[in-house]
Structure formats: structure tokens, C-alpha cells
Amino acid sequence: MNTLIRKAERMRNSSSHRRVGEGKTRLLVPHIPVPGEDDSTAVEADDVPRRHAELESALVKNLKKQVACLEMEVAVLKRAKEQGTHQGTLSADRSGMALERCDAGYPLNMMCPLTTSHVDPFAPWMNVHDERNGNENADSNIYLERQRRSLHHADTALSQLTIQRLRLEKESVEERLRSEQQEKEMLAAENVKLRAALRVSEKKEEELHQLHKYTLNALNTEQGKRRELEDKLSAVGTPNTKDNEETKSNKDIMYEKEYYRVQTDRLRVSLSEGLVRSEELEKQLRAERSQVATVEAKLRIALDEVQRLQRVITDKASVYERMDQHYIEVWTKLQMAIEDCDTLHEELRRRQGESSSPSSSGSIGETLRGLERISSGLKSGVLLADVSGGAIGMDTSDNVSKAAKSPSSFPKHSEPITTTSTSNTNTTNTNTNTNTTGVPPPPTASVPAPPTATVPPPPTASVPAPPTATVPPPPTASVPAPPPTATVPEAVPLQTQSNPVGVPQPPSQKTIDQELEEVERKIREEEEALLSYLKTRKA
């Protein structure tokens, strides 16, 4: 036990050091520069400490959970050790020797064979070989069995704690993965923004370069014209023989000077107009960028909505599958109820033929008519459910018919039915209520139709049609003897006549009425259960 406690403490220290190392390596991850990204457009400095603080808090929580799990493991091991100290000394000495052998023979990085079973596998046979006395052998076997059980419980608790610790580690890793994914998405969005800004700056630089080239060309042309004008003015200073030529040349020079001045003014105005036009284009470009950003946001929202709709569609498909299963169960129950009604019809007809009292013929006939009405209503409900569903497979219908035809679904008529007897008036009232109420067909919208391409419709010949003819009253003159194989419920023996040995007696009127009341009560309960189930499915 001491070695196990020491190993648990080593595991705790190694896990804590490993987690701290992971946290340090996670916090010291350098920033990877994006190609084309400028140093001035880096991520804000406030996001990095905030992410580091979140990661540190998550690591601290994970370490706290691991420490709690390890403390629970140590408590369980201490409890197992305390339980082991109260046992005998002989096996304790042998287990201590085995643990010492384990500590001496196996290094720390290898698993000791006692960690799996905590018992020397050769100890029972060694004890049996050494101790020849019967009492000592029995005591040692009992002690070894108890020690094995206690150590098995300790192993189970330790494995449960290890599973919990691994689950907590899995949760922390999943949380870290989610945070990494969020950071990745944020970096991707930031990269998109930076690339858009880079494209805009490149376009602006090209426009400025073209404008600079245009202005340089205009300046060079104007400087050339100015040099020509200066050359002409310097040439004017030379003496001429003719005054007319001088005046004409002076006038021409002045006209040229005025012309060039007007041209420079025009160039200045066109340059100002170009600047205004460039400012307007910049405004339009900013508006287009904002529109592009809004369109991207809308596209992201639309993608999220599409994913949500896909999840909803999958959820609906699973719901439809579950509803198909519930529909099959309801259909099976309806078939079982119909077959039970048919069996009750046959049983009542048989008992009606066996009955000898004429007073029970009226109630039996009414009960049969009520049962026929109930069975017809149930069969109409089954047909409506088949039409509304229309997608139950052939293999499913075969399984359902097999489940419905199994003998466990039929009621056991051989057992005697014992209920409190009521008056004949109550029996007739319940018969009339049952006949008038009936079973309404289930609503067609209660069970939604499953997808039609999954399974073909069930065969229509699985549910036989109920008999529509009314049962005539039984003859009251002669009562035939029942077959020897049929099981007849217990009847009240007649006190006035002698009962010959081996001859079964017909049931009395009281027993038949009780059975009919029990059958009617069961039918009403089944009707209420079916109606409530259909209402809940509709709601």
C-alpha cells in the first residue's frame, strides 16, 4: 500500500509538471507573420494578454481538477490500507515481502505485476504447500479471498478516478481546441481585412503614380516653353534696322506670353479638377468597401443559417424515424387488440353454445354485438393509420404480425377470472354504453407520414375483416358436453345433484356474468389507453 501511495504521488507530480510545461510552451508560441502583412498593421496588443490570461485560467482549473482526482485516489488507497491493517499478520508479511520484491526488482518506468491484481499469483499455492493444518489453511484462504476482494474494489475505484481524470483532461483539451479554432477564425478574418487594405493601398499608389507622372509631364512642357520664351526675349534685345519688325516681334512675344499664361491657368484648373475627382472616387471606394463588408457579413449569416437548417433537417429525420417506430408499435397494439377481440368472439360463442341458462343469452348477445362494433372501429382505425402512414416495410410488417400472433399477446382464458359481482342492470347499462360509444377512428394528422421511399407499404391481407353478421341466440334445449381438451373455468357445484367423477360441469350464470363484466372492463381500459395515446401523439 505504501508503494501504491508513493506511485500515486509521483503520478500527480509528473502530471502537474507536464501540464505546467504544456502551458508554458503554449504561452511562448511566437507570432507567425502573414505574407504581405505590414508590421504597422499587426494584431492589437490587448488581445495577446487577454488570450494568455484565458489560457492560464483554463490550465489552473484543469490542474485543480486533477489535484482533486489525485486526492480522491490517495484517500481510496489510504482507506484500503487501513482495511488491510486489520487482517492477519501472516499474509500481511507475505504481501509486504511481495511489495518489497516488486519495489526492488522493477524500476520506476516499468509496471509492477502487483498493480493489476495486488496479490502474488503464487501466494495461495505456496500457502497450501507450506501450511498443512486444515484450520490454518481455511483461515488463510478466507483471508486471501477477502484481501483479493478489497484490493479489487480499490482497483475499481482507482480506475474510476482515472477515467474521471481522463475525462477532465479531454474536456480541457476540447476547450483548448475550441479556443484555438476561434483564434484561427479571428486571424483569418483579420488576414482578409489586411489583404483588402493592401489591395486598396496598391490601387491608391497606382493612381498617385499616374497623377505624379501627368504633373511631371505638364511641368516639363511648361519649362520647355518658358525656356523658348526666354530665348526669344533675349533675342529681342539685339538691334534691328527696321522699327516695324521690332514692334511686330514685341507684340508677338507679348501675345505668346499671354497665351502661355492662359495655358498654365488651364492646367492648374484641370489639376484641381483631377484632385476633386480623385477625392470623389476615394469616397465611392470607401462606400463600396463598406458595402462589401456588409455583404460578407450577410453571407456569413446565411452560411450559419444554412448549417442550422441542415441540423434541423437531420433532427427532423431522426424525429421521423422515432415516429415511425412509435407508429409501428401502435399498429402492433391495434392488431393485438383486434386479434384479442376475435379470440374473445370465438370464446364467447363457444361458451354461449355451452351455456344452459336462457337468461344469459340476451346479455351475451349484446356483449357480442358490442365487441363486434369495437373490433370494427379498431380495424377502421388500423386501416386509416395504414393509409396515412403508407410507408412500413415488408420485413417490419412481418415482424409485427409475428409479434401480434405470438401466444404471449393473447389473454389467458384458462385462468379463472375473479371479480366483484354486480347487478344485471349495471351489466346491461355498461353494454349499452359500450355499444353506443364505440371507438372513434384515430385522427389522420396525429401520426405524420414517414418518407415514402424508405419502406414499401404493408400487405393489406394481414388484418382480416370482422364478421358483420349478428350472432343468433344459442339453443336453450340441449347443452352439449365440452371437449375434454378445453379448459373450463371453475363452476359452482350443484348441491342438489350428485357430481359424477370425471364429468365437467357447465359454468353457472354468475360466473359467466363476472367474466363478461371483466371482459367489458378490459375493453374499456384498452379503449381509454388507445384514445389517450392518440391524443398525446396529436398534441
**Residue spans of alpha helices (H) in 355-421:** 360-389, 394-405
Question: Which candidate, 386, 420, 388, 443, places its Cα nearest to that of 517?
Answer: 420
Calculate the alpha carbon distances from 2 to 5, 8, 96, 100 in Å. Answer: 5, 10, 10, 10
In a domain, 509, yes or no: yes
Q: What values do phi and psi take at 106, rounded to 5?
A: -120, 135
Single out the residue in 228, 254, 281 at which a domain terminates. Answer: 281
Q: Do 185 and 87 reside in the same domain of the chain?
A: yes
Q: Do 163 and 220 reside in the same domain of the chain?
A: no
Report the pLDDT value the prediction gives residue 364, as an integer from 0 to 100: 58
Q: Do 397 and 419 reside in the same domain of the chain?
A: yes
Per-residue confidence in pLDDT tens, the chain, 539 aa? 556 566 656 666 655 555 444 444 443 334 434 444 444 444 444 556 677 787 788 888 888 888 888 888 788 888 777 776 655 444 445 545 544 444 444 443 334 443 433 444 444 444 444 545 556 667 778 878 887 888 888 888 888 888 988 988 888 888 889 888 898 899 889 889 998 988 998 999 999 888 888 888 888 888 888 888 888 877 765 545 456 666 767 888 888 888 888 888 888 888 888 889 889 999 999 999 999 999 999 999 999 999 999 999 999 899 888 888 888 888 888 888 888 878 887 877 787 777 644 444 555 566 666 666 666 655 555 444 444 444 333 343 444 344 334 433 333 333 333 333 333 433 334 343 434 334 444 444 444 454 444 444 444 444 444 444 444 444 444 444 444 443 434 444 434 344 444 444 544 445 667 777 787 788 778 778 777 877 777 66
Q: Do 355 and 423 reside in the same domain of the chain?
A: yes
Q: Do 473 and 396 reside in the same domain of the chain?
A: yes
Q: Do 193 and 208 reside in the same domain of the chain?
A: no
Single out the residue in 148, 165, 197 at which a domain terminates. Answer: 197
In a domain, 225, yes or no: yes
Q: Do 79 and 181 reside in the same domain of the chain?
A: yes
In a domain, 312, yes or no: no
Report the pLDDT value the prediction gives residue 4, as an integer from 0 to 100: 55
In a domain, 298, yes or no: no
Question: Which candidate, 34, 31, 25, 32, places its Cα nearest to that of 48?
Answer: 31
Q: Do 370 and 392 reside in the same domain of the chain?
A: yes
In a domain, 315, yes or no: no
* Total number of domains constituting the chain: 3
Question: Contact 363/421 with Cβ under 8 angstroms?
Answer: no
Q: Do 123 and 224 reside in the same domain of the chain?
A: no
In the chain, what are the helix, strand and coil shares in percent, each to the nearest 5? Answer: 75, 0, 25
In a domain, 37, yes or no: no
Report the pLDDT value the prediction gives residue 368, as an integer from 0 to 100: 63
Calculate the alpha carbon distances from 26 to 178, 181, 461 in Å. Answer: 15, 15, 70
Q: Do 155 and 22 reside in the same domain of the chain?
A: yes
Single out the residue in 261, 281, 301 at which a domain terminates. Answer: 281
Q: Do 378 and 472 reside in the same domain of the chain?
A: yes
Report the pLDDT value the prediction gives residue 309, as an integer from 0 to 100: 92
Q: Do 376 and 448 reside in the same domain of the chain?
A: yes
- The range of the structural domain enclosing residue 152 comes to 2-29+42-197
> What is d(CA 451, CA 444) in angstroms, rounded to the nearest whole number?
16
Report the pLDDT value the prediction gives residue 405, as an integer from 0 to 100: 40
In a domain, 316, yes or no: no
In a domain, 494, yes or no: no
